[in-house]
């Protein structure tokens, strides 16, 4: 990585109900981890999650409020100018379902997939050569419910690419399931793994695949746990192996979890707690993939809904929905321990942090 300011662009999705304008664009200074404003923002209503294309040329954002044109929500496409950081709008499409909250792009850059929390559905969109969105295409409506008051119906909360098989994992908080979809032929078909079951009342929110392709980690929002699944080889099915708490044993308050990410080296897993307001860290057993708690770091604000690890694995950024700030941490390369750098960015209701390596 070229060690100059501007080699990495940082895109921050926000809720626009308290002064934010949309998706903000910054540059990362690799010398100290500070985020430097480009002065640019793409105006979108409630862009709660964003995802770049694999080649870094385009950015896709879900808008949980799509305005008069798309009252139930939308997915929006932008072209990224690597020199200036400007996001040029390309087009938008209806989310079809209600309340889109997550978006992913397939490894070949041909498809974008979104999860609709409000209606509990998953939708595919074809991506044209110019980065604009066709569609909507295939859609699957989830069915079912579970134990708690937030689980009276399906609530698809994320849609994440399996880097080994190309399948998509859809975590549904309402049904306590992770559904694995094969998107070959531009369709949504249940893959070999089918449906992964979580404990009743767990509320799966986000998932993270280990780089080796054999291990999958699911962070459960409602019972503050992480469940580890393993498979002997990519063409086999995942099986549940372990569930661990994201909280210290002496914590007695209310908490929900939010985001989950592996360090690029695959040796440390992080998850965010809202209530305890911390980043929980776990060592990953290099042979079995199992987790061992190694500590909790105060996140530096209230309700860390999302966090991001910068390319290269040197810095982590915790985005706090309720205190309007993003706090930077330096990551110890040996232990994975987090240490605040002293940098804090004030920004209205940040809820997503994503990175693009510039050319």
Domain ranges for the chain, please list them.
Answer: 37-305+327-339
Task: Check pLDDT > 60 for residue 5.
Answer: no
Binned at pLDDT 50, 70 and 90, residue 4 comes out as: very low
Q: Residue 193 has what pLDDT?
A: 76
The predicted pLDDT at position 292 comes to 98
What is the average pLDDT across 93-103? 97
Q: Rounding to the nearest 10 degrees, give the CA dihedral for residues 103, 154, 163, 270.
A: 90
> Residues 226-241: what's their mean pLDDT?
94
Do 79 and 91 meet the contact criterion of CB atoms below 8 Å apart?
Answer: no
Confidence band for 129, pLDDT divided at 50, 70 and 90: very high
Tell me if the pTM is above 0.85: yes
SS3 string, 245-273, reads: ECCCCCCCCCCEEEEEEECCCCCEEEEEE
pLDDT in tens, 24-83: 999 999 999 999 999 999 999 999 999 999 999 999 999 987 667 899 999 999 999 999
* 259 has pLDDT over 70: yes
CA 299 to chain CA centroid, Å, is: 17
C-alpha neighbours within 13 Å on the C-beta side of residue 198: 35
Residue with tokens 């979104």: 114
Q: Where are the beta strands (DSSP E) in 15-154?
A: 22-28, 35-43, 49-52, 58-63, 74-80, 87-94, 100-105, 111-116, 121-126, 139-141
**Would you state the pLDDT for residue 64?**
86
Mean pLDDT of the chain: 95
Query: In terms of Cα–Cα distance, which of 247, 111, 227, 211 is closest to 171?
Result: 227
Residues 6 or more apart whose CB falls under 8 angstroms from that of 96 comprise 72, 116, 121, 123, 136, 139
Q: What is the pLDDT of residues 280-294, one digit of tens each?
A: 999 999 999 999 999
Least confident among 116-130, 188-202, 310-324: 188-202
Closest CA to 229 of 260, 189, 183: 260
Task: Give the percent of the chain with pLDDT over 90.
Answer: 92
* CATH code given to domain 37-305+327-339: 2.130.10.10
CB 226 within 8 A of CB 199: no
**Does residue 135 register a pLDDT over 90?**
no
Strand order across the 100-105 sheet? 100-105, 111-116, 121-126, 139-141
CB 169, CB 160: distance < 8 Å: yes
The pLDDT value recorded for residue 3 is 44
Q: What does the alpha-carbon distance between residue 239 and residue 229 come to, in Å, rounded to a whole number?
A: 5
149-171 b/e with 16+ CB inside 10 Å = b? eebebbbbbbbbbbebbbbbbbb
- pLDDT for 268 beyond 50: yes
Residue among 102, 260, 263, 232 nearest 164 (CA): 232
pLDDT band at 233 (very low <50, low <70, confident <90, very high): confident
What's residue 6's pLDDT? 56
Q: Three-state SS for 149? A: helix
User: What's residue 65's pLDDT?
Assistant: 73
Q: What percent of the chain has pLDDT over 70?
A: 98
Residue 351 structure tokens: 């809820």
Where does the pLDDT of residue 262 fall: very low under 50, low under 70, confident under 90, or very high at 90 and above? Answer: very high
């Amino acid at each position: 990585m070229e060690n100059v300011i501007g080699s990495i662009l940082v895109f921050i999705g926000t809720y626009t109900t308290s002064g934010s304008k949309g998706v903000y664009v910054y540059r990362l200074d690799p010398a100290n981890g500070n985020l430097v404003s480009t002065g640019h923002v793409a105006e979108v209503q409630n862009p709660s999650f964003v995802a770049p294309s694999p080649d870094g040329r385009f950015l896709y954002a879900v808008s949980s409020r799509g305005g008069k044109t798309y009252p139930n929500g939308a997915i929006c496409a932008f072209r990224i100018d690597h020199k200036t950081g400007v996001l040029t709008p390309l087009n938008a499409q209806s989310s079809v379902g209600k309340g889109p909250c997550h978006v992913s792009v397939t490894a070949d850059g041909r498809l974008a997939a979104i999860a609709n929390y409000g209606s509990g559905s998953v939708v595919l969109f074809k991506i044209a050569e110019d980065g604009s969105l066709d569609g909507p295409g295939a859609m699957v409506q989830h069915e079912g419910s579970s134990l708690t008051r937030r689980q009276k119906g399906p609530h698809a909360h994320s849609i994440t690419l399996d880097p080994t098989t190309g399948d998509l994992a859809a975590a549904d908080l309402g049904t306590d399931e992770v559904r694995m979809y094969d998107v070959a032929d531009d369709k949504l078909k249940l893959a070999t793994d089918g449906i992964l079951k979580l404990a009743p009342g767990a509320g799966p929110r986000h998932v993270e695949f280990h780089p080796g392709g054999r291990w999958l980690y699911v962070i459960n929002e409602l019972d503050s746990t992480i469940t580890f699944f393993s498979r002997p080889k990519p063409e086999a099915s995942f099986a549940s192996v372990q569930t661990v708490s994201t909280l210290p044993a002496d914590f007695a308050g209310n908490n929900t979890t939010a985001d989950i990410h592996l360090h690029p080296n695959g040796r440390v897993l992080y998850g965010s707690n809202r209530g305890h307001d911390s980043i929980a860290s776990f060592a990953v057993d290099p042979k079995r993939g199992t987790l061992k708690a190694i500590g909790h770091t105060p996140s530096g604000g209230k309700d860390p809904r999302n966090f991001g690890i910068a390319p290269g694995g040197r810095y982590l950024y915790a985005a706090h929905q309720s205190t309007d700030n993003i706090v930077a941490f330096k990551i110890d390369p040996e232990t994975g321990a987090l240490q605040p750098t002293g940098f804090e960015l004030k920004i209205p209701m940040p809820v997503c942090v994503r990175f693009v390596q510039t050319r």
